Structure 1
Amino acid sequence: MNDADIELFRSLLANQIADIQRQIDKLELRDQRAADANRARRIAELLAQLDQLTDVLDRIDGEVE
Structure 2
Amino acid sequence: MKPSSYYDRIVDVMEELVRFTVLLRPHAAHLVDRCSERKQAGRSVNPATDLSAIAIRRSGDPAA
Larger relative contact order (Cα-Cα within 8 Å, sequence gap ≥ 6) = 2
- In which range does the TM-score fall when normalised by the shorter chain? 0.3 to 0.5
Q: TM-score, normalised by structure 2?
A: 0.37
Q: TM-score, normalised by structure 1?
A: 0.36
User: Larger Rg: 1 or 2?
Assistant: 1
